[in-house]
Each structure stands twice: as C-alpha cells, then as structure tokens.
Amino acid sequence: MTTPAPWVPEGIWIARGEEETRVARRVRASLPDVPVHIVDDPATAEPSGFAQGKRRLILQRHGGTFLQHCPAGTTGMVCCNYLVANFASNCPFDCSYCFLQDYVANNPAVKIFTNVDDGLAEIDAALRRHPTRQFRVGTGELADSLALDAVSGLTRDLVPFFAARDNAVLELKTKSTCVDTLLEHAPTDRVVTSWSVNAPQIVAAEDRGAPSLDARIAAAARVQAAGFRVGFHFDPLVAHEGWERGYRDTVERIFARIDPARVAWISLGSLRMTPRLKTAIRARQDRGQILTGELVPCADGKERVWRGMRVRMYQHILGWLRDVDADLPLYICMEPASVWEKVMGQAPSDREVARHVTQRTVSAPTPSLEPR
C-alpha cells in the first residue's frame, strides 16, 4: 500500500523558546522545505478564517489542562466515561459538519503542543490516583489522532506510555491513513486505533480532504494485521436518501477486510448541531448540503433528526452489525436513556457502558448490552 504524503502547511510558526523541543525538531525534520517563523506571541500567527487556518501550523505550549472529560457526558445523556487528552488542535481535513468550525473559530490555525511530557505526567497522575479504575483515553476530540502523526510523531510518545499502564486504554480516533509511525511499535492491547466511518455517499460529499471510506478500511486492515485492536465510529449518522443501502454497504465493506473478533468497540451517533455551529456552516457558502435535512431541538441544546428516525437508524445498523458478530461491543453516543431503551432494551449506567466498551481490551466482568 502506498504511504500517504504528510500534510504540508504553508508555514510553521514556533513560539520562541520551543524551537528545540522534541516536537519542534520532529516537525522541522519532516517538513524541511516549509518556511519557519519564530514568534514571541503565537496568537499573531492566527489567520482570519477557518479555511486559512487549515494551512498554518503553530507549535506552542499548551497552557491549560490536557486531560478532560468527554463533552458527551452531558446531563441526561448515557455516557461511556470517556476521557480526552488534547495534544493538538484542528486538523488538515475539512468535514462539512465539524464542530471545530465553531469551537476554534477565533484561533483556527492547526496547532501541535510542544509540552507533551506535561500532558503525559498529568495522565499518569490521574491513573495513579485511581489504580483500580479502568480508563479509556482518546486524543481525537480537538484534532484527528493520526492526521498529523507523520509530522509530529506523537504516537512515538503515546504508544509506549500506554503500553506500560495496566489501567488505561488509549484510543487513537482518526479518518487518516497515516499509520506508518504507529506501526513502528509492537502491538499492545492498551492501544486501539479507531476510524470514523459513514455511508459512502456522505464520505464523498461531506468529508472534504479526508481519505475515502475504502482507504480508511484498508488502513484499519493494516493496523489489525500488525496485531493492534481496531474500532469504528458510525458518527455522525445522516438521514439521507438511500441511507439504509448506504450504511449496510459500509458494514459490508468493513467486514470484508476486518476480523470482527479483534474489533475493540463500535459506536453509533446521530448528526448533532448547535445553533452556533449551524451559523458557522452557513457562513461558509459551500457548506449548505449537510443542513438540508430537518433537525429538532433536544434537551442538551443540540439539534438532531427526530427521535423516531434516530431509533430506526440505530436499530437497523446495530442489527447488521450483530449479524456479523453477536458479541461486538456496541454503544450509542450522546443519546438519552429513552433512546437506549428503545434500541437496546435497557438504559445502562455510565459505569456499565464503560465496562462493556473495554471488554475486549481488559479482563473484567462486563454487563450484557444485547438488544431486546
């Protein structure tokens, strides 16, 4: 398989004093022909628009907390107790529905944080405080976990760190095919690489700049063949014309190449929008298609397709997945207990969902979440 070329920004801006950090050295070595600017204030390198931000790379220290609870843990929603660790912000892809269009609108440049060791120390302290708890930590909230790995080499820090921990699993959530640096490492069940997938029609129309569905599946097959566990996220599900055929096609394409017995987890989540995100999407004149369907307000302040349609989509896709392997660890993301009950026949506690999700990566008794 051809190795994908790394993302190449128009320039690299490095905060003064961070030039010789491990991250800065890796980036400069991997992008030797890209102009480098040393700046006293990284904010001066921020462009005026989100699209332009995709072309600029800033290397700076992260001044806040690296480890946070996933924002999916909203009151009233069943949560899988997921934690997110932010080592970067924004990514080279430009998916039409991406919440970052609103979230990083005021600081849209792609950023890689240089003080990785501070983040690892923060995670280590949390794991040591709770030695009997199993943590699931992901790096794919504010940035794709692997899209920048060819230039940052972050997996060289993360994989050995989590491989040495007994009470945490790292999830690298991605749409990228940049897995070469990851595959430098010996496989470990403490690292799961998961791909966000969608119906082929949605990938082609909405996942702009991201690899095709088949390319993602091929990358997942490479990672699984190397001995790592993989996962998949059918998120955001979009109620488009022909969705049954499209999502069934996606399931079939995945399991034509992937061994279901070595899939760590699969999640499903519906398209969700905040009013501010809808405004940001509409402001970009080429971004109207994702908003053509009717969305209704929900209790958490987000808009989704009406509940009956969401339940129907979940039931169909979960049924196709169960036909592949009845033991696949499946869960629904950012939905209330009432939707869980309609789809799964029960509304588990957050702790039960967390145990269920990690059942193929840790040895622990797990609850049944079979649909009824």
DSSP string, 129-195: H-TTSPEEEES-SSS-TTTTHHHH-THHHHHHHHHT-SSEEEEEEES----TTGGGSPP-TTEEEEE
pLDDT at 158: 98
What span, in angstroms and rounded, lies between the C-alpha atoms of 199 and 254?
11
Cα separation, 197 vs 212, in Å, equals: 9
State residue 364's pLDDT score.
36
CA-based diameter of the chain, in Å? 59
| pLDDT 10s digits, 11-40 | 999 999 999 999 999 999 999 999 999 999
Can you read off the two tokens belonging to residue 52? 């332009």
- How does the average pLDDT of the chain come out, rounded? 90
pLDDT(289) > 50: yes
- Predicted TM-score (pTM) of the model is 0.92
CATH architecture of 67-357: Alpha-Beta Horseshoe (3.80)
In the predicted structure, residue 354 carries a pLDDT above the cut 70: no
Q: Which range, 50-54, 78-82, 250-254, 327-331, is most confident?
A: 250-254
3-state secondary structure of 76: coil
* Residue 299 pLDDT: 87
- Where would I find the H helices in the chain? 22-30, 50-53, 100-103, 116-129, 149-152, 155-163, 200-206, 213-225, 243-255, 275-283, 307-324, 337-344, 350-357
Question: What number is the average pLDDT over the span 84-107?
Answer: 95
